[in-house]
Structure 1
Amino acid sequence: MNVLVFDIETVPDVTAGRRLLGLDADLPDHEVAEAMFALRRQSAGTDFQRLHLHRIVAISVVAVLDRHGFRVWSLGDPDDGEAELIRRFFEGIERYSPLLVSWNGGGFDLPVLHYRALLHGITARRYWDNGQEDREFRYNNYLNRFHERHTDLMDVLAGHQARANAPLDEIATLLGYPGKMGMSGGKVWEAVQAGEVGAVRDYCETDVLNTYLVWLRYQLMRGQLSPEGLANEEQRVKDTLREDGRPHLEAFLAAWEATDGA
């Protein structure tokens, strides 16, 4: 079974802000963003923009593919544009038809991807199929909230009740995994403004690792993994992170192993 666990990081779409608010084209990005934040605070009491006003700056994935094993990475290069990141994401679905796994992907990540793919004119036939081309997709597709082809762990574990939703950081930490490391979603705009897209990608990769590890525990709970199978899968993740050698993954591994020994 091919599995693709994914997470996105976003910033306010200042180009949209200029257009919708009628702002001068020469107004600096940070001033446009401040205008968007102020308007949102006035209407909703939060800086968090409505989903169609987000621009994607990172898409990170954990992929478990039949022919390629376990891997964690961020799509594209740090200087790639948003359209290229989104194109690569949907090309992976087209090629492998994986089970998608997310944390709040149904409530945030996928709607943002929909709006941005619409903006950039990106085709994703396999993703949008609900049985017209593949009859199996009539009964299990990416679009239905209650189908497993996309498993939104936050939504499923909450019994599809918004009042029962929990943050990934707290669930991962309760299960003995590292949780949030190095950054938070609220700091992404500042990091991008400072030219630190690489740090955002690193942060997103640790988030998607937490999601994958929680998914393994979910599979144990469902009886799809035995305790021995869970231990083997967790060890495979540790071995991969150790062999990879990138500092943020080494830090994730060290934090995890420190928890193991606690």
Structure 2
Amino acid sequence: MTPIMVFDIETVPDVEGARRIHGFEGLSDEDTAKAMAQLRVQKTGSEFLAHHLHRIVAISVVLATRDRLAVWSLGDEDASEKELLTRFFEGVERYTPTLVTWNGGGFDLPVIHYRTLLHGISAARYWEMGDDDREFRYNNYLSRFHWRHVDLMDVLAGFQARANAPLDEVASLLGFPGKMGMSGAKVWDAYLAGDIRGIRNYCETDVLNTYLVYLRFERMRGRLTEQALEAELERVRHMLAESPEAHLGAFLDAWQAGKNA
């Protein structure tokens, strides 16, 4: 079994980067973020910041191997962005996993690329294109239509942006919990309030939803039998039931309530 690593990132405005680029010296972090949003609206009509001006404050993963299933957030709550990224790529180097995301090709990975460049982190395995390992020539992490990275949103939409769907709705449609605790739009407010734990917990529920959708996808494309699918779902339920974390217990309760509705 090829290890599966589902991941998701949570970000806040890179106010220090914006000060370097736009000269916002003297403004508070809150006012700098507002100025960044105003500039973005003027340029694009949307407040959503350019990828290189997002700073990563959480990376959560589900790691599934033959013998292990776990969900957690990388690093401690006070870990720097550089440490989070270093740990992420250490996982890629160690496991050479199939990476699974929801809109990872459109958001998470481009942000990770810019931030990894900023921090001077080496990620040779991730960037392998077949020069040193021939197996990566026709199946690598960077090419859109390869399978080492599965962007479920992109794949399920048939690579047609107009067919994209939000994770929350797809997960709910399949009987999974969907969004819990907060939304991406609330991460900045939670960060300003010092609620890093809440951000990490929210990110963990997102990767759980993504993994559950991925299991259904694997059944759809014939890589899991119905029995194997149920066994994997039961493995997730067991992991959640054994966890002392309240947000994971709440996720299991919401899942069971949807299943029994």
Q: What TM-score, normalized by structure 1, do the two folds share?
A: 0.98
Tell me the alpha carbon deviations over residues 182-230 of structure 1, each in whole angstroms, 9 at most, x when there is no partner: 1000000000000001000000000000000000000000011111111
**C-alpha separation in 2, matches of 1:251 and 1:47:** 32
Post-superposition Cα deviations, 1:34-74, rounded to whole Å, max 9, x if no partner, equal: 1101111222222110101100000000001245x100000
Distance 2:81 2:209 in 1: 24
* C-alpha distance in structure 2 between counterparts of 1:167 and 1:189, whole Å: 20
Long gaps (5+) in structure 2 = none
Q: Give distance in 2, aligned partners of 1:213 and 1:50.
A: 30
State which drifts further: 42-51 or 252-261.
42-51
Partner in structure 2 of residue 65 of structure 1: 65
Q: Following the alignment from structure 1 to structure 2, what is the Cα–Cα distance between the partners of residues 23 and 107? A: 28
Aligned-pair CA distance for 1:245:
1.9
Task: List aligned pairs for 1:94-113, cutoff 5 A.
Answer: 94-113=93-112
1:1-262 matches, cutoff 5 A: 1-24=2-25, 26-67=26-67, 69-262=68-261
Provide Cα deviations, 1:130-161, integer angstroms capped at 9, x if missing partner. Answer: 00110000011001100000000000000101
SS in 2 for 1:151: strand
SS of structure 2 residue aligned to 1:61? strand
Rounded to whole Å, the distance in 2 between the matches of 1:95 and 1:261 is: 39
Rounded Cα–Cα distance in structure 2 between residues aligned with 1:196 and 1:48: 22
Distance 2:212 2:73 in 1: 17
SS state at 1:199 partner: helix
2: CA distance, partners of 1:66 / 1:20: 47
Which secondary structure does the structure 2 equivalent of 1:80 belong to? coil
Q: How many Å apart are 1:261 and its aligned residue?
A: 0.6
Q: Distance in 1 between matches of 2:248 and 2:156?
A: 27
Question: Could you tell me how far 1:8 is from its partner in structure 2?
Answer: 0.3
Q: Could you tell me how far apart the structure 2 residues matched to 1:245 and 1:225 are?
A: 30
Q: Distance in 2 between matches of 1:87 and 1:249?
A: 26
Which has the higher mean CA deviation after the structures are superposed, 88-97 or 39-48? 39-48
The percent identity for this pair of structures is 63
Distance of 2:172 and 2:97 partners within structure 1: 27
Cα distance in 2 for partners of 1:58, 1:183 equals 14
The alignment covers a number of residue pairs equal to 260
Q: Deviations over 1:99-129 (max 9, x none)?
A: 0000000010000000000000000000000
Deviation of 1:10 after TM superposition, in Å, equals 0.4
Structure 1's unaligned 5+ residue stretches are: none
The CA RMSD over aligned residues, in Å, is 0.8
- Offset at residue 27 of structure 1 (A): 2.2
Partner Cα separation in structure 2 for residue 229 and residue 65 of structure 1: 14
- Given the two structures, how large is their TM-score scaled by the length of structure 2? 0.98
